[in-house]
């Protein structure tokens, strides 16, 4: 991809009420005024590395080849945690090495693929002149992403690394006619997204009971509107995962659901 048309995305927990995101964009454009900068989300819950990992894993495949994804959810900013760039066959990821690429790395491993390259960000020539201990998004990640968009080789930015940090991934279990999974994300609509995929669900048949907390659901909806307003439902969401939702409402609020809650599916025929 031509450097002048490269794309940089931003994923952070900064929100939009402060100037942090705008400042990062200013730094990027000051280094490469021709690059395009796209927001993935800035609504990650503060310091929620799991949510950031799931968000970038869900989003990255929809961007053009050569995109530079900059992810800053960094509870340990200012410590000795590493900053890294990871290159796959489709994209670059500029981020703290704190598990934020866990789902991406898991996907690559399961597909028998590999990272093309990964380096530690160490060359201060690509930082801002003064580096704060509290805003590496501005002082390190944004300028490094911008220089990368200009075609700076990874080898110039730092030495190779192999032992990237990965967080434990909540894995569903299948035992006979039963699937046990858990809620791994609550979206802004209050939908509870699980770690149970459509293909795993199909593996136990077409009739089953879905249990989460005190709620029992006997079928899978094709659309939210198939259930009455205010009624709970199960549906396969846009990323191919089972979700528990409320038509016109919030499953998080109405059903008291939260990250980590167990979801059990029992074949019923």
| pLDDT tens track for 156-210 | 999 999 899 999 998 899 998 999 999 999 999 999 999 999 999 988 888 899 9
Q: Are residues 110 and 52 in the same domain?
A: yes
The per-residue pLDDT for range 21-57, each reduced to its tens digit, is 999 999 999 999 999 999 999 999 999 999 999 999 9
Confidence band (pLDDT; 50, 70, 90) for 269?
confident
* Same domain assignment for residues 126 and 194: no
CA distance 127 to 18: 22
What are the residue ranges of helices labelled H in the chain? 20-31, 49-59, 102-110, 136, 142-149, 154-157, 198-202, 251-254
CA angle, 189 then 100 then 35, to 5° = 85
- With respect to residue 166, please indicate whether it lies within any of the assigned structural domains: no
Same domain, 25 and 121: yes
Whole-angstrom distance, CA of residue 180 vs CA of residue 20: 40
Q: Domain count of the chain?
A: 2
Looking up residue 65, the CATH number of its domain turns out to be 3.40.50.10790
Put simply, whether the predicted model's pTM sits higher than 0.85 gets the answer yes
Residues 57, 21, single domain; the answer is yes
On average, the pLDDT of the chain sits at 94
What per-residue confidence (pLDDT) applies to 114? 64
65-79, 99-113, 163-177: range with lowest mean pLDDT = 99-113
Same domain, 131 and 200: no
Contacts by residues 89-93 (CB-CB < 8 Å, ≥ 24 positions apart): 89/113, 89/116, 90/60, 90/61, 90/65, 90/66, 91/60, 91/63, 91/65, 91/66, 91/67, 92/66, 92/67, 92/68, 92/148, 93/56, 93/60, 93/68, 93/69
Sorted by sequence, the CB contacts under 8 Å of residue 47 that are 6+ apart come out as 13, 73, 75
Q: Report how far residue 164's alpha carbon sits from residue 94's, in angstroms, rounded to the nearest whole number.
A: 13
Q: Are the C-beta atoms of residues 201 and 179 closer than 8 Å to each other?
A: yes
Q: Would 206 be classed as within a structural domain?
A: yes
Residue 44's domain comprises 3-157
Please provide residue 221's backbone torsions phi and psi, each rounded to the nearest 5 degrees.
-75, 150
Same domain, 100 and 177: no
């Amino acid at each position: 991809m031509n450097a002048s048309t490269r794309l940089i995305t931003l994923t952070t927990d900064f929100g939009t009420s402060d100037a942090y995101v705008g400042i990062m964009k200013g730094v990027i454009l000051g280094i490469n005024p021709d690059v395009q900068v796209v927001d993935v989300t800035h609504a990650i819950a503060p310091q929620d590395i799991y949510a950031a990992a799931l968000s970038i894993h869900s989003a990255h495949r929809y961007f053009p080849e050569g995109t530079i994804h900059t992810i800053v959810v960094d509870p340990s900013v200012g410590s000795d945690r590493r900053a890294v760039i990871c290159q796959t066959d489709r994209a670059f990821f500029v981020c703290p090495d704190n598990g934020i690429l866990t789902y991406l790395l898991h996907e690559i491993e399961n597909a028998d693929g590999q990272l093309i390259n990964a380096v530690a960000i160490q060359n201060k020539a690509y930082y801002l002149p003064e580096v704060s201990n509290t805003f590496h998004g501005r002082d390190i990640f944004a300028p490094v992403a911008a220089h990368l968009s200009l075609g700076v080789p990874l080898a110039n930015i730092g030495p190779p690394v192999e032992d990237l940090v990965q967080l434990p991934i909540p894995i569903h279990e299948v035992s006979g006619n039963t699937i046990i999974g858990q809620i791994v994300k609550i979206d802004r609509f209050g939908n509870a997204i699980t770690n149970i995929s459509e293909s795993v669900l199909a593996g136990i048949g077409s009739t089953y009971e879905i249990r989460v907390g005190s709620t029992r659901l006997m079928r899978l909806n094709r659309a939210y509107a198939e259930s009455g307003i205010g009624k709970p439902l199960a549906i396969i969401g846009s990323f191919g995962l089972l979700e528990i939702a409320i038509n016109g409402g919030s499953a998080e609020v109405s059903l008291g659901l939260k990250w980590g809650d167990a979801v059990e599916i029992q074949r019923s025929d």
